[in-house]
Structure 1
Amino acid sequence: MERQTQEETILSLSTLLIQNYVFPDIAHRMQVEFTQRLNNNEYEEMTDPATFAKTITSQLQNTSKDKHLNVRYNPQKPPAEDYAEGRDVVPEDHFMTMIQLDNYGFTRIERLQGNIGLLEFHAFMSPEHAAETAASAMTFLANTSCLIIDIRKNFGGDPHMVAFLTTYLLDPAPKHLNSFYLRKNEEIKQFWTLPYVPGKKFGGSKPLYILTSNRTFSAAEEFAYNLQTMGRAIIVGERTGGGAHPGGFHRINKDFEVFIPFGRAINPITQTNWEGVGVTPDIEVPQDHAFEVAYTTLLQSEHKRISENPIPGGKRLMDELQRAIRNNTNAASIVG
């Protein structure tokens, strides 16, 4: 990789940061630091473009403490290559096929023993594409007594899907979930629960546990943070990744692109966000134990609740709860 290419890449990157990054003062600081590194020939022996991109990303994040800032080596293909060997689909079609085959990130929907629901999904895809799948999942889970939502592998996505799913987990009254300050035009964009979602809601009163890990990021963190600050959910697992800045990709040149945050989240309750610090669990345990802890805790609390307040036709459920508790003695020891 030639020095001229490195210089042109960093010059273009610096311009994009100054024009778009949510904190202009930090963007200027990063520009100055890159100029110093170039003058010191810091990248002189860096010939591999992927290594160059990784190095720049690390330096951006070290200065900004912003994990959303990310430079990628992603060479643009000539237009002819997009249609090689008679292929007649466009890249957007490839993307849609990919997310459909991935079931829009929804990987596990289950009624566990004891009438406890489990939902696992790995991305907050846009409701434009994923609403039907999400609504079907939430309708399936609506009659469970408690719900565990597993976002330990969820990298984030669209805040509109955060609002869509959250609406199923709260009472009907409108709730202000989050706001985003957007640098362009000094705009504040608010996100609220929706007046209508299809299917049946889980509701705002039954126990809700959310599982997190250090890989839980961005919109997934917003989902957990919003529900935690409202007192609606118990978070179990590890502190999350700490990315609260929305943004978008920019092409630096034909070889590199960069994701630049252009805004920041403002929670209506805390007036701050989880940027750089992550979401702190209510029950902090290694991610590998998070499910067992949440499930066992819910089994025991449900057993106690029904024992103290028997429900008509509840004997079958009590028997199921007792069997589940016996089958989860190892998890119970973690809680203890």
Structure 2
Amino acid sequence: MTTTTSPALDTAAVVESIADLVAENYVFPEVALPLAALLRERRAANAYRAGTAEELAEEVTADLRSVNGDLHLSLKHHAEPVPQGLGEAAMTAMRRQFDETLGGVPRVELLDGGVAVLEFAPYLFPLDWAAQPLAAALNLVAPARALVLDLRGNRGGDPDTVAFVCGYLLDGRTHLNTLVSRQGEKAEQSWTPPFVPGARFGADKPLYVLTSATTFSAAEELAYDLQQLGRARTVGETTRGGAHPREGWTVHPHLELTVPVARALNPVSGTNWEGTGVQPDVPCPADDALDRALALATADLADPAS
């Protein structure tokens, strides 16, 4: 019988590499340098006494978030060893979940009155994986009279996937978001695609987005973009409040550092949902959000003016 042992945890080396990466890459330089200094001070004071990689991840994450509360700043522990390289750890973990959740579309259902429910969870997976299952699901609900998007269990994902989904819910190319770099440059714009495979649900029929206190990151962007454009009503709880796109680095075979490298700028609001979350148009407990949205749909569909 062969047994495998975890690599030794060189805390000093791991913390030093984290400090370097934060200083060089975090989107806010005025925060990055003090954060890096804090990590080095804590390391020099022998404050990181964790015996395991999992414990170190908890301690370092608390310090990373201690200055401005950025929930995308974290040291993530992975039970299984993850590959070296930029973003490889996240991709390995997400791929397993993609295969287990029908490509991130665990529920497609048509309810009474022609109202469809479409759930995206646990992530909006990278578009080169998810385009096929998403297109299939969105085509299936395109003839519905009203649509409920359930993001209550969605913890983020790919901004390109957000734009792809929005392409089915809007007519024509629409500017959704602009990413602003560390240097303050408008680095990249996000637009809905000019073409989507199959039929669009379109821009005119009633649309509701369900949120919870765990809805995060790219899922928040989907809710926020549709809300700011006046395309959908959000129903449920205020979301977690993570608007900064991030990159990930493997700093130990079981540890992945995630660092925001840009900030989002919505063309309608001129800001984003960082720290505040997406505020629901119809606040209610997450467990009640579907019933509330279905009641809204029933009323809207009965209104000749809708």
**How does the TM-score come out when normalised to structure 2?**
0.88
Q: Which residue of 2 aligns with 1:276?
A: 275
Q: Which residue of 2 aligns with 1:293?
A: 292
Whether contact under 8 Å (2:29, 2:182) holds in the other structure is: no
- Alpha-carbon deviations, 1:210-248, whole Å to 9, x = none? 000011111100001011011111000000011111111
Q: Structure 1 residues 184-193 or 197-206, which shifts more?
A: 184-193
Structure 1 distance, partners of 2:69, 2:82, is 35
Say which of 10, 17, 20 aligns to 1:12: 17
SS of 1:196's partner is: coil
Q: Kindly indicate which of the two structures has a greater share of residues assigned to helix.
A: 1
Offset at 1:271? Answer: 1.4
Structure 2 distance, partners of 1:182, 1:78, is 28
Whether contact under 8 Å (1:169, 1:203) holds in the other structure is: yes
Greater Rg over alpha carbons, structure: 1
SS of 1:111's partner is: strand
2:37 pairs with 1:36: no
Structure 2 distance, partners of 1:229, 1:185, is 23
Instruction: List alignment gaps of at least 5 residues for structure 2.
Output: 1-8, 84-89
Query: Structure 1 residues 219, 144: closer, same or farther in 2, change over 3 A?
Result: same
Offset at 1:6? Answer: 2.2
Question: Residue type matched to 2:225 in 1?
Answer: N
Query: Structure 1 residues 23, 237: closer, same or farther in 2, change over 3 A?
Result: same
- Alpha-carbon deviations, 1:172-210, whole Å to 9, x = none? 2x2101111133794510011111001111110111100
Offset at 1:103? Answer: 1.1
Whether contact under 8 Å (2:152, 2:214) holds in the other structure is: yes
What percent identity do the matched residue pairs reach?
Answer: 37
**How does the TM-score come out when normalised to structure 1?**
0.80
Structure 2 distance, partners of 1:30, 1:92, is 26
Structure 2 distance, partners of 1:252, 1:136, is 38
Q: Which residue of 2 aligns with 1:213?
A: 212
Question: Residue type matched to 2:224 in 1?
Answer: Y
RMSD across aligned C-alpha pairs, in angstroms?
2.7
Say which of 72, 76, 82 aligns to 1:68: 72
Question: Residue type matched to 2:288 in 1?
Answer: H
Structure 2 distance, partners of 1:108, 1:73, is 29
> Larger relative CO (CA 8 A, sep 6+): 1 or 2?
2
Whether contact under 8 Å (2:146, 2:205) holds in the other structure is: yes
Query: Structure 1 residues 92, 192: closer, same or farther in 2, change over 3 A?
Result: closer
Offset at 1:157? Answer: 0.7
Whether contact under 8 Å (2:81, 2:254) holds in the other structure is: no
